[in-house]
Amino acid sequence: IDEMPLLPSGKVDKKQLPEPNKVRQDEYVEASDEIEIELVQAWSELLNTDSQLLSTTANFFKNGGHSLLATRMISMIQDKFEVSFPVRVVFQYPTIQSLAKYIRIVNQKVAPAEEYDTIDI
């Protein structure tokens, strides 16, 4: 806006302010796999915004997320992907792309030790 709407008292007239744009659109990047699609849907629900506006490069916290919503998101992710992690992970990986990458890594299955060849030293 060019000018702040003011009340006769000189204070900002909050009722006259336009609705804030909840999702920043630096560059829209579409979800590329099932994990990213599920995260977009979860974020859309939690942030109360249209999933079509959520770029996978969007930052959860810059778009209205906070620690309580992060906790709810983790619960949703645990239910969907059977992955458990602490809230700090959401702070470390605040975008859909980065969090999806983390989930992919955690979900990788490690072969049992018996399946590896042993080498005598």
Tens-place pLDDT, residues 25-60:
568 899 999 999 999 999 999 999 988 889 999 999
- At 109, is the pLDDT very low, low, confident or very high (cuts 50, 70, 90)? low
Q: Where are the alpha helices (DSSP H) in 7-95?
A: 34-47, 67-81, 88-92
In 3D space, the residue among 56, 28, 62 whose CA is nearest the CA of residue 40 turns out to be 56
Over range 2-14, report the average pLDDT.
Answer: 89
Q: Kindly report the pTM of this predicted structure.
A: 0.69
As a whole number, the mean pLDDT across the chain is 86
3-class SS shares of the chain: helix, strand, coil, % to 5: 45, 5, 50
What are the CA-CA distances from residue 90 to residues 33, 46, 84, 96, 120 (Å)? Answer: 19, 14, 12, 10, 42
Q: According to CATH, what is the number of the domain 20-106?
A: 1.10.1200.10
Over range 62-85, report the average pLDDT.
Answer: 92
Specify the DSSP class assigned to residue 51. Answer: G
Over range 8-36, report the average pLDDT.
Answer: 81
Tokens 């659109």: give the residue: 25
pLDDT for res 101: 95
